[in-house]
């Protein structure tokens, strides 16, 4: 689908990723971008810099309320579904979290069906691979739940259900969709709801206070950190393409250990501090591994997507943003309720 002069809706539009998608849609010449969010977790502050374009409309609405979604979808060509509870908010409020992740998407798909929306791009997660993190992980790798914490498994399976709901609505009601499975996303307007991004924020906040950054465990745990702007670009490519019914892993393919991450933060901040190692058995975790290699071949070949921002550059942007906001205070994690 052509993006220029088209109208788009981003559910959970006040989200980290939604705000980056909205930015790129405006750059691409979209006629209007509607940001539907009930502000239960996110805040309109994330997108206030976009409202001066005159092409971004903020709508307070709940993906669990059909009439609000139907109203917001009037005249919309394509939907980016980002509204969700990540693992940490799910651990605090599983009732609402699972409702938003599963019934919320069902409501949006049903509304797309009746409003004749051409396509939906669904924000899924590499959590759908669970602990199957040995060897090269491709889009065909099945979920392995062994050893995954219950809340992380609930998040992962809510995303698996989401993917199947997209497939069902495509098969039964001709609602086209693409599934994008992101690894750990970071960037400007970062929140502290992602279990793996917390490693970045916590270490950085301690370094800037002159305190030794804490590494949980022995520091060999790895994650694949992908820049939010690169993820947003993948969303636009998915909407633009003629493909439907396909899933893509959106990751850098590069595993970074907590040791490497903290070393990089210390270098970027010019700090001479050394890390302190602690155990934290009660911590909420995603599937964790000392090995992680996501294939990005399918995204490269079929979508023409590859990450463009290195971890060093991306962390530089995150740090600059954090310094420019309210003295770098950590935003709250606690969800206020779902509807
Ligand atoms: N951030 C990551 O590292 C990451 C990684 C993999 C996948 N994802 C997926 O990408 C998407 C966006 O992630 P994010 O980190 O930008 O999310 P986020 O936590 O920043 O935002 C989620 C948004 O959804 C909104 N929301 C919650 N319940 C709602 C409801 N009932 N109605 C309307 N809006 C509601 C919240 O207010 C919030 O603004 C999510 O689907 C997430 O699962 C994120």
DSSP 66-90: HHHHHHHTTT--EEEE-----HHHH
**Co-location of 49 and 148 in the same domain:** yes
**Co-location of 199 and 58 in the same domain:** no
Closest CA to 284 of 333, 224, 212, 234: 333
**Co-location of 203 and 142 in the same domain:** no
Q: How far is residue 256's CA from residue 58's CA, in Å, rounded to a whole number?
A: 36
Residue 19 domain flag: yes
Q: Which structural domain, as residue segments, surrounds residue 199?
A: 191-223+254-292+310-328
Task: Supply the pLDDT for residue 335.
Answer: 41
pLDDT: which is higher, 300 or 53: 300
Is pLDDT at 96 greater than 50 in this prediction? Answer: yes
Is pLDDT at 304 greater than 60 in this prediction? Answer: yes
**Co-location of 207 and 87 in the same domain:** no
**Co-location of 210 and 270 in the same domain:** yes
**Co-location of 87 and 230 in the same domain:** yes
Number of domains the chain is built from: 2
**Co-location of 107 and 16 in the same domain:** yes
Residue 337 domain flag: no
Write the CATH number for 205.
3.90.25.10
- Kind and range of the H or E element at 118? none
User: Could you report the per-residue pLDDT of 165-186, keeping only the tens digit for each?
Assistant: 999 999 999 999 999 999 999 9
Task: Supply the pLDDT for residue 333.
Answer: 41
Ligand 1 atom at shortest distance from the alpha carbon of 13: 39
Q: What would the mean pLDDT of 89-118 be, rounded to a whole number?
A: 97
**Co-location of 246 and 202 in the same domain:** no
Residue 299 domain flag: no
Average pLDDT score over the chain? 93
Q: Which long-range contacts (CB under 8 A, 24 or more apart) does 270-273 make?
A: 271/207, 273/207, 273/210, 273/211, 273/212, 273/213
- In angstroms and rounded to an integer, the radius of gyration of the C-alpha atoms of the chain is 19
Task: Supply the pLDDT for residue 62.
Answer: 98
Q: What would the mean pLDDT of 17-36 be, rounded to a whole number?
A: 98
Between the CA of 274 and the centroid of ligand 1 the distance, in Å, is 34
**Co-location of 33 and 44 in the same domain:** yes
Residue nearest to atom 23 of ligand 1 (CA): 12
Is pLDDT at 279 greater than 50 in this prediction? Answer: yes
Does 63 contact ligand 1 (Cβ within 6 A)?
yes
**Co-location of 124 and 216 in the same domain:** no
Q: What would the mean pLDDT of 97-109 be, rounded to a whole number?
A: 98
Residue 154 domain flag: yes
**Co-location of 206 and 231 in the same domain:** no
Does 191 contact ligand 1 (Cβ within 6 A)?
yes
Give DSSP secondary structure letters for 301-319: III-----S-HHHHHHHHH
Residue 235 domain flag: yes
Residue 69 domain flag: yes
**Co-location of 156 and 243 in the same domain:** yes
Q: Residue 238 contacts by C-beta under 8 Å, 6 or more apart in sequence?
A: 121, 178, 180, 248, 303
Write the CATH number for 59.
3.40.50.720
Does the annotation count 155 as an active-site position?
yes
**Would strands 222-223 and 256-257 be described as parallel, antiparallel, or unpaired?**
antiparallel
Tokens at 144, concatenated: 């392995």
Catalytic residue, candidates 155, 169, 186, 227: 155
Residue of 10, 11, 17, 160 with the most ligand 1 atoms within 8 Å of its CB, for mutation: 17
């Amino acid at each position: 689908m052509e993006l220029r002069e088209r109208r788009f809706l981003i559910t959970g539009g006040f989200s980290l990723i939604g705000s980056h998608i909205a930015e790129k849609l405006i750059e691409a010449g979209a006629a209007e971008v509607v940001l539907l969010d009930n502000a239960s977790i996110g805040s309109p502050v994330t997108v206030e810099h976009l409202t001066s374009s005159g092409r971004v409309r903020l709508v307070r609405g709940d993906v669990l309320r059909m009439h609000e979604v139907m109203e917001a979808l009037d005249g919309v060509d394509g939907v980016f579904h980002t509204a969700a509870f990540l693992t940490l908010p799910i651990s605090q409020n599983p009732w609402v979290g699972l409702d938003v992740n599963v019934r919320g998407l069902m409501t949006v798909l049903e509304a797309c069906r009746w409003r004749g929306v051409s396509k939906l791009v669904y924000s899924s997660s590499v959590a759908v691979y669970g602990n199957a993190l040995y060897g090269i992980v491709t889009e065909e790798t099945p979920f392995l739940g062994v050893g995954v914490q219950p809340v992380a498994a609930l998040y992962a399976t809510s995303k698996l259900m989401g993917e199947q709901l997209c497939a069902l609505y495509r098969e039964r009601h001709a609602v086209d969709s693409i599934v994008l499975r992101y690894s750990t996303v970071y960037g400007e307007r970062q929140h502290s709801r992602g279990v793996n991004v917390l490693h970045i924020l916590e270490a950085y906040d301690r370094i800037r206070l002159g305190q030794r950054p804490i590494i949980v465990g022995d520091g060999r745990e790895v994650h694949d950190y992908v820049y939010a702007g690169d993820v947003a670009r993948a969303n636009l490519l998915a909407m633009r393409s003629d493909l439907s019914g396909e899933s893509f892993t959106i990751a850098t393919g590069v595993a970074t250990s907590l040791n490497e991450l903290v070393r990089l933060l210390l270098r970027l901040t010019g700090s001479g501090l050394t890390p302190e190692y602690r155990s934290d058995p009660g911590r909420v975790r995603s599937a964790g591994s000392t090995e992680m290699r996501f294939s990005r071949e399918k995204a490269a070949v079929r979508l023409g997507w590859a990450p463009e921002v290195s971890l060093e550059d991306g962390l530089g942007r995150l740090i600059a943003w954090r310094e420019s906001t309210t003295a770098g205070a950590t935003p709250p994690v606690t969800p206020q309720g779902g509807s």
